[in-house]
Amino acid sequence: MDFLKQPWPWYVSGPLIGLMVPALLFAGNKPFGISSSLKHICAICFPADISFFKYDWKASLWNLFFVAGIVTGGFIAVQFMGGQHPVKINPETETLLKQQGIKDFKGLLPQDVFSFQQLLTTRGIIFMVAGGFLVGFGTRYADGCTSGHSIMGISTFQWPSLVATCCFMIGGFVMTWFILPWLITL
């Protein structure tokens, strides 16, 4: 059981995630991706007269079970298999963040930035509200998320997925090296 309670190395977890692509394709030509599940949930919960949500969402019901499995697995992992040790991050990253004023590394997200106390600050609104909007808009604009494009799309030789993945990476680098240091100082 200790094997399941500790983080798995990339060379184990990476291929397991990658094997989801052929497994889903063999199981019925199902695409791997998470962002489409939000569209299905909206089509179920808000059956308004919006043409975007008028489709046979029942044909994609498997995707909602897939997402429910991810949420359930995450809950089980945190509640029953999680260790009491802090999340390990690269020491160089920790040093850079400490130089920029981030001191609290007790969890997955630094409490100096991501907490209910920080939510109503300028920085909190930018991170949570504006950031959430941009992620949602970008996912819809790119017609998929990083898992759909980077894992499924590239493995099935989709040119738009390669372009989207390159844009995701460029956006991540720009955010990490140029925008995040400025936002942290707010």
Q: What is the DSSP string of 40-70?
A: HHHHHH---S-GGG-S-GGGGHHHHHHHHHH
Q: Name residues whose C-beta falls within 8 Å of residue 158's C-beta, 6 or more positions apart in sequence.
A: 149
Give, in order, the Cα–Cα distances in Å from 86 to each of 2, 89, 174. Answer: 17, 9, 28
- Please write the tens of the pLDDT for every residue from 54-98: 888 888 888 899 889 989 988 888 788 766 666 677 888 888 888
Amino acid at 76: I
- Please write the tens of the pLDDT for every residue from 6-41: 778 889 988 988 888 888 888 888 887 788 888 888
- Please write the tens of the pLDDT for every residue from 143-183: 888 888 888 888 889 999 999 999 999 999 998 888 888 88
Q: Name residues whose C-beta falls within 8 Å of residue 114's C-beta, 6 or more positions apart in sequence.
A: 127, 128
For the chain, what are the domain ranges?
1-85, 89-186
Which pTM value belongs to this model?
A: 0.73
